[in-house]
Amino acid sequence: MKRALEIKGTMQDVRSFGICEYEENAKVEEFNEQTYHNQVIAMEVDSFNHIPSGMIKKTIDGGRYAVFTHRGKIDLIKETYNYIWGTWVPYSKVELDFRDEFELYDEGFKGRQNPSSTFDIYIPIK
Give pLDDT, residue 42: 87
**Residue 114 — φ and ψ, nearest 5°?**
-85, 120
pLDDT tens column, 92-110 = 989 988 888 999 999 999 9
Q: How far is CA 93 from CA 87, 90, 110, 117, 123, in A?
A: 12, 8, 34, 30, 14
pLDDT tens column, 51-87 = 899 998 999 989 999 999 999 999 999 999 999 988 9
Give pLDDT, residue 32: 57
Give pLDDT, residue 102: 95
Q: Which fold has domain 4-125?
A: Multidrug-efflux Transporter 1 Regulator Bmrr; Chain A (3.20.80)
Supply the pTM of this predicted model: 0.85
Helix ranges (H only) for 5-124 are: 77-83, 89-91
Give pLDDT, residue 73: 95
Residue 110 DSSP code: -
Residue 75 DSSP code: G
Report domain extents, the chain. 4-125
Give pLDDT, residue 76: 94
pLDDT tens column, 15-60 = 889 998 876 666 665 665 666 667 888 888 888 888 899 998 999 9
